[in-house]
Structure 1
Amino acid sequence: MTQAFASEELSPDEAAAAAASCSREFRANPHPVYAALRETAPVCPLSPPHGVETYLITRHDDARAALADPRLSKDMYGAIDAYHRIFGDSSIALDDNMLFSDPPKHTRLRRIVGNTFTPKRVESLRPRVQKVTEDLLDRCATSEPMDLLPEFCFPLPLNVICELLGVPENERKQAQEWSATVARTGFGPEARKALELAEGNLREYLADLIARKRQEPDGGLLSALATARDEEGALTDHELVSTAWVLLFAGHKTTAYQLGNAFYHLLAQPEQKRLAFQDARATAAAVEEIFRFETSVENSTFRFAKEDIVIRDTLIPKGALVQVSITGANRDPDVFADPDRMDVTRPNVQSTHLTFGVGPHFCIGAPLARLEMQIALTSLFGRYPRMALAGAPEDARWLTVPFPAFRGLAELPVVLDPS
Structure 2
Amino acid sequence: MTKNSTFLSVNPFSSDFKDKAYSLYEQLRIHDPIHKTVMPNGNTAWIVSRYEDAAAALKNERFKKNLFQFVRPEEVGVPASRMDLLLRHMLNSDPPDHTRLRSLVQKAFTPRMIEKMRARIQEISHWLIDKVEAQESMELIRDYAYPLPIIVICDMLGLPNEERDQFRTWSHAMVSAFNYPERYQQITSEIDQFTSYIKALIKKCRLDPQEDLLSLLTQAESEGSTLSEQELVSMIFLLIVAGHETTVNLIGNGMYALMQHRDQLEALRDTPALIDSAIEELLRFMGPVEFATNRWTGEDYEWSGKTLAKGDVVLIALASANRDPECFEHPERLDITRGNNHHIAFGSGIHHCLGAPLARMEGRIAIGTLLGRLPNMKLAVAPDRLEWQPTYIMRGFTALPVQFG
Kindly report which structure 2 residues correspond to 1:149-164, keeping only aligned pairs within 5 A, or say none: 149-164=141-156
Deviation of the 1:84 alpha carbon = 4.9
User: More deviation in 163-172 or 80-89?
Assistant: 80-89
Deviation of the 1:23 alpha carbon = 3.0
Kindly report which structure 2 residues correspond to 1:325-404, keeping only aligned pairs within 5 A, or say none: 325-349=317-341, 352-401=342-391, 404=392
Partner of 2:397: 409
Partner of 2:245: 253
Kindly report which structure 2 residues correspond to 1:74-153, keeping only aligned pairs within 5 A, or say none: 74-81=65-72, 84-85=75-76, 89=80, 90-153=82-145
Partner of 2:44: 53
Partner of 2:285: 293
Deviation of the 1:192 alpha carbon = 4.6
Q: Distance in 1 between matches of 2:38 and 2:243?
A: 30
Cα separation, partners in 2 of 1:114 and 1:13, compared to 1, 3 Å: farther
Deviation of the 1:215 alpha carbon = 1.4
Partner of 1:5: none
Is contact 1:43–1:57 with CA below 8 Å preserved after alignment?
yes
Is contact 2:179–2:294 with CA below 8 Å preserved after alignment?
no
Aligned pair 1:44/2:32, yes or no?
no
Deviation of the 1:20 alpha carbon = 3.1
Q: Which runs of 5 or more residues in structure 1 are unaligned?
A: 1-7
Q: Secondary structure at the match of 1:225?
A: helix
| AA partner of residue 163 (structure 1) | D
Partner of 2:236: 244
Cα separation, partners in 2 of 1:11 and 1:219, compared to 1, 3 Å: farther
Q: Distance in 1 between matches of 2:220 and 2:355?
A: 19
Deviation of the 1:178 alpha carbon = 1.0
Q: Distance in 1 between matches of 2:75 and 2:293?
A: 15
Could you report, residue by residue, the CA deviation over 1:166-189 in whole angstroms, capped at 9, with x for unpaired residues?
Answer: 111222222221111111249999
Cα separation, partners in 2 of 1:117 and 1:173, compared to 1, 3 Å: same
Q: Which runs of 5 or more residues in structure 2 are unaligned?
A: none
Deviation of the 1:32 alpha carbon = 0.5
Indicate which of 27, 30, 33 corresponds to 2:21: 30
Deviation of the 1:144 alpha carbon = 4.6
TM-score, normalised via structure 2 length = 0.94
| AA partner of residue 110 (structure 2) | T
Q: Secondary structure at the match of 2:220?
A: coil
User: More deviation in 178-187 or 239-248?
Assistant: 178-187
Number of residue equivalences = 404
Is contact 2:284–2:345 with CA below 8 Å preserved after alignment?
yes
Share of identical aligned residues, percent? 35
Deviation of the 1:221 alpha carbon = 0.6
Q: Distance in 1 between matches of 2:133 and 2:183?
A: 35
Cα separation, partners in 2 of 1:162 and 1:217, compared to 1, 3 Å: same
Q: Distance in 1 between matches of 2:326 and 2:372?
A: 36
Deviation of the 1:364 alpha carbon = 0.4
TM-score, normalised via structure 1 length = 0.91
Deviation of the 1:102 alpha carbon = 0.6
Partner of 2:59: 68
Q: Distance in 1 between matches of 2:179 and 2:393?
A: 14
Cα separation, partners in 2 of 1:74 and 1:39, compared to 1, 3 Å: same
Q: Secondary structure at the match of 2:307?
A: strand
CA RMSD of aligned residues (A): 2.4
Is contact 1:297–1:326 with CA below 8 Å preserved after alignment?
yes
